[in-house]
């Protein structure tokens, strides 16, 4: 009989980005330390759901001029800004957006970064499909997109960081997100008239119940990554 990893699921609700980043870092380091000590990491994996107050984050490969506001303007609008250690460029997190942070030992799942990112995308694609939204992948672009006329609109951003095959950071799905917040950045560094942003709310023209979206995304994570689910809720 196959032995599946265990993943502890935690929904922390609204949390400051810096606080959550520090928490992720601590969990990430603990899992890496367990591997160094050759301890069993089967039960140490975490999946954290949350949402953040307004914040822009810039990945390692991002350009600072993709933030179109000055530091003073960010303060005036009560928007935080952080340079962080995930891949990718600049993105926005805020209310109405569902953020998922998997802290996974990929050696218990599949030791392949490309497959890992595709699996994150697949979890979102299946979740969108539950609301009859057709999510797609685009060559050369991570994340999940929705075709609208001649445009492709990004509904989910993905950016990850791995060390010793342990993951952190993750995905941000626009559910009921205020899309005007993306006007102050060059989202993901993509300056293309045929690429834009959307949310599940903007596509369906109605506000969604976030608990329903969380439940479906959690279900698809479990079916794709094949783990035993432990809830602290």
Q: Catalytic amino acids?
A: 188
Residue 105 near residue 35 (C-beta atoms within 8 A): yes
Is residue 40 classed as helix, strand or coil in its secondary structure? coil
Look at the block and give the residue holding tokens 């609109």.
Answer: 153
Residue 59 near residue 90 (C-beta atoms within 8 A): yes
Residue 117 near residue 160 (C-beta atoms within 8 A): yes
- Determine the Cα–Cα distance for residues 203 and 88; give it in Å rounded to an integer: 25
Torsion of CA 22, 155, 59, 84, to 10 degrees: -10
Buried-state track 41-73, b at ≥16 Cβ within 10 A, e below 16: beebbbbbbbbbebbbbbbeebeeebbebeeee
Is residue 73 classed as helix, strand or coil in its secondary structure? helix
């Amino acid at each position: 009989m196959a032995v599946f990893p265990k993943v502890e699921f935690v929904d922390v609700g609204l949390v400051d980005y810096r606080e959550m980043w520090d928490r992720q870092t601590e969990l990430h380091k603990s899992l890496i330390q367990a591997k160094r000590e050759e301890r069993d990491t089967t039960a140490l994996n975490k999946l954290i759901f949350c949402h953040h107050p307004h914040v822009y984050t810039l990945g390692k490969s991002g350009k600072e001029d993709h933030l179109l506001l000055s530091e003073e303007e960010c303060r005036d609008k009560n928007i935080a800004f952080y340079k962080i250690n995930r891949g990718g460029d600049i993105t926005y997190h805020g209310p109405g957006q569902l953020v998922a942070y998997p802290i996974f030992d990929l050696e218990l799942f599949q030791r392949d970064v490309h497959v890992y990112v595709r699996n994150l995308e697949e979890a979102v694609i299946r979740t969108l499909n539950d609301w009859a939204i057709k999510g797609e992948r685009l060559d050369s672009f991570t994340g999940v997109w929705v075709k609208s006329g001649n445009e492709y609109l990004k509904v989910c951003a993905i950016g990850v960081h791995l060390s010793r095959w342990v993951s952190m950071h993750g995905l941000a799905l626009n559910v009921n997100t205020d899309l005007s917040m993306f006007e102050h950045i060059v989202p993901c560094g993509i300056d293309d008239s045929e690429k834009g942003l959307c949310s599940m709310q903007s596509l369906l023209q109605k506000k969604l119940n976030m608990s329903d979206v969380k439940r479906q995304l959690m279900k698809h994570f479990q079916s794709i990554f094949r783990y035993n689910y432990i809830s602290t809720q």
